[in-house]
Amino acid sequence: MYERRQTRQISVGKVPVGGATPISVQSMTTTKTADVEGTLQQIYALAAAGCDIVRCTCNEQEAAEGLAQIVPRSPIPIIADIHHQYKMALAAMEAGVHGLRLNPGNIRKPEHIKAVATEARDRNIPIRIGVNGGSLDPSLYEKHNGLTAAAMVESAMQEMAYFREVDFDLIKISVKASNVPLMVEAYRMLADATDVPLHLGVTEAGPPPMGLVKATAGIGALLLEGIGDTIRYSLTADPVEEAKAGRQLLEALGLRERKNVDLIACPSCGRAEIDVIDVANRAMKAFEDKKLPLQIAVMGCVVNGPGEAREADLGIAAGNKRGHLFVKGRNVAVVPESEMVESLVEWAEFIHEHGTEAAIARVDTARAEREAAKDRAQLLDEKGDDANNAGEKIVEIRRTVGQ
């Protein structure tokens, strides 16, 4: 990974953004903001899934009035999403929101833009300049002969210039597009042009799994280059799935501290003694709400399983219709196949509370290792240590090469 690009730091409520602060996860509610209780219910679910900042639409007076009730009860900062009507931005600030998102493609009058920025400056409220590839000012499409990275960056820089005319600099920027290479190019260009914090996203990514693939491709590529201060997965799905995906990406890249299980599993093969996919899925469901920051492995056989997953805090490998539990690569117990997932949960909870050394110390590892060796030998005997007749093939290869 590249060294993280240093940006100016701002704050959205109590969440710092930019500088050396942790990269934050954002999402957006799908409820009508006027539905105060329904919106709060979704916000609490998002916060539980790892969302740091949430955006709510403010498209009408009833939505602004709803925000006045939502903001003081929300567990995470609220950003008001504004399109077309600049007065809705003023109303949202009156409601007490912690930030605004403005689309420069549909609020175009300089006097309106500067009126919002002036009020935000006086209230110390940050604004995200949210450029969207699908809604640029028509003049920019014409100037750049269509949608280009340069057109999106110019849109952002124009908006920022209006802000600075009224001495407003609590800014972050996004230049989202549904085309991944275009989005990546735009953010790279923007990162070279300014030091304000950047909010990453692939807009209109679509439903999973394709939406997850597109968003991860764009966001992940930039994060690995050190670009990005906040992220959002824009999925056609429950927004809780957006928050989960964002959190998991940051944890996978080592950019946020792990809060839940990292479950690794082999892809299965002819040696597998169990339905690896079924066991892995049941394990994921069992650990979903456990908040155990451990790496746990589900492996299909005892031939390679414990060795391949030796760095996992805990794992299980199948052999002879039994599950062989291992901790940091050491066999610790043998359990019936029907109890594999339950055993993983019990051992994971013990390790989380007492540590791996205490877990190993509480059992007869020699006995567990003997049982694993016995099942490993049986599996090799059944499948064949040299199922491909490699010895004979090597002789033929040498003869062919030597001719």
pLDDT at 342 over 90: yes
- DSSP run (H or E) holding 319: strand 314-319
Tell whether the torsion through CA atoms of 149, 151, 152 and 154 is positive or negative.
Answer: positive
Same domain, 215 and 306: no
Q: Based on the structure, what is the number of domains in the chain?
A: 2
pLDDT at 290 over 70: yes
- Would you state the pLDDT for residue 267? 82
- pLDDT above 90 for 306: no
pLDDT per residue over 343-382, tens digit each? 999 999 999 999 999 999 988 888 877 776 776 676 666 6
Domain edge (last residue) among 252, 276, 297: 252
What is the separation, in whole angstroms, between the first and last Cα of the chain? 47
Phi, psi dihedrals of residue 394, rounded to the nearest 5°: -65, -40
Against a cut of 0.85, is the pTM above it? yes
- Tell me, yes or no, whether 244 and 279 share the same domain: no
Write the CA distances from 217 to 161, 167, 174, 210, 239, integer angstroms: 31, 36, 17, 11, 19
Q: Is the pLDDT of residue 183 over 60?
A: yes
The CATH number covering residue 32 comes to 3.20.20.20
CATH number, domain of 292, equals 3.30.413.10
Residue 337's pLDDT is 84
Clarify whether residues 245 and 161 are in a common domain: yes
Q: Are 211 and 245 a contacting pair, CB within 8 Å? A: no
Question: With bands split at pLDDT 50, 70 and 90, how would you rate the model's confidence at 1?
Answer: low
Neighbours of 126 (CB within 10 A): 23
Boundaries of domain holding 324? 262-383
Highest-confidence segment of 154-163, 300-309, 372-381: 154-163
Residue 305's pLDDT band (boundaries 50, 70, 90)?
low
Burial class (CB in 10 A: 0-12, 13-18, 19+), 146: exposed
Domain's final residue, options 191, 220, 252: 252
184 and 270 together in one domain: no
Q: Which residue, of 207, 231, 252, is where some domain finishes?
A: 252
Query: Do residues 116 and 67 share a domain?
Result: yes
**Do 248 and 291 sit in the same domain of this protein?**
no
Residue 79 has pLDDT above 90, yes or no: yes
Residue 25: predicted pLDDT: 98
Across 26-44, average pLDDT: 98
Q: Mean per-residue pLDDT for 108-122?
A: 97
301 and 182 share one domain: no
Question: Is the domain of 164 the same as that of 274?
Answer: no
Give residues with Cβ within 8 angstroms of 269, minimum separation 6: 300, 301
Secondary element (H or E) of residue 180: helix 180-193
Q: Are 155 and 50 in the same domain?
A: yes
Q: How confident is the model at residue 391 (pLDDT cuts 50, 70, 90)?
A: low
Name the more confident of 37 and 308.
37
Identify the pLDDT of residue 63.
98
- Looking at the structure, do residues 289 and 243 belong to the same domain, yes or no? no
Q: Is the pLDDT of residue 298 over 80?
A: yes
On whether residue 395 sits in a domain, the answer given is no
d(CA 91, CA 67): 9
Residue 127 in domain = yes
Strand-pairing partners, residue 102, are 82, 129
**Average pLDDT estimate for 78-93:** 96
pLDDT at 200: 98
Residues 151, 275 within the same domain: no
**Phi and psi (nearest 5°) for 51?**
-75, 135
Q: Which pLDDT score, from 0 to 100, does residue 259 have?
A: 87
Q: State pLDDT tens for residues 86-108.
A: 999 999 999 999 999 999 989 99
* Residue 262 main-chain phi, psi, to 5 deg: -100, 100
Handedness of CA 264, 270, 273, 277 (dihedral sign): positive
